[in-house]
Amino acid sequence: MPRHAARARGFSLLEVVAAVLLLAITFASLMRVAGSSLNLTARSAERSEAAMWAHSLLDSAFVLEPIRVGRSSGRFDQRYRWQLSVQPFQPAPAAPAAGPQAPASPLRLYRLDLDVLWKSAGHDYSARFSTLRVGGPQLSAGNGA
């Protein structure tokens, strides 16, 4: 047998098994990364949907009716539910200015804290959204309003 033919025999069984094992480990790692990526994408989509629900509720809250202090709750759909807390908001007092004081405004600030809650893959998730809303004076039934 010529020397050239002895060197061109190919790969040994051990080399082929090692290459296949290395390929399997690499493929398993890539599948784990892809699975984690899909999981993160699903969680991100859920948080985006919760933010859209919250944006919708906070934009429409107390537009046609006066602001009511307190707590309320409800459901957006089968998966998402909400809890809203409305409290008067008192901004920090500004430094006293020299000169005449402006008359006190009848408008008041209210802080709206909205918690959106949902369950996914056996875990409870929540997201909190807060905003300030301007409200008029609270009218009583005897004011003729």
Cα distances from 16 to residues 9, 61, 92, 123, in angstroms, run: 13, 67, 74, 44
Q: Is residue 19 part of a domain?
A: yes
Q: Which of 67, 38, 56 is nearest to 114 (CA)?
A: 56
**Domain range holding 80?**
12-91+107-138
The token duo for 135 is 């409200």
The answer to the question of residue 16 being in a domain is: yes
Confidence (pTM): 0.67
Indicate the DSSP class of residue 27: H
What are the pLDDT tens digits along the chain (145 aa)? Answer: 556 555 567 889 899 999 999 999 999 999 999 988 998 999 999 999 999 999 999 999 888 888 999 999 999 999 999 999 999 998 877 666 666 666 777 788 999 999 999 999 899 999 999 999 998 765 544 444 4
Please check whether residue 134 lies inside any domain of the structure: yes
The answer to whether residue 21 is domain-embedded is yes
Strand partners, 70: 86
Count of domains in the chain? 1
Question: Does some domain include residue 97?
Answer: no
Between CA 58 and CA 120 the distance in angstroms is: 24
> What CATH number is given to the structural domain containing 77?
3.30.1300
Residue 102 within any structural domain of the chain:
no
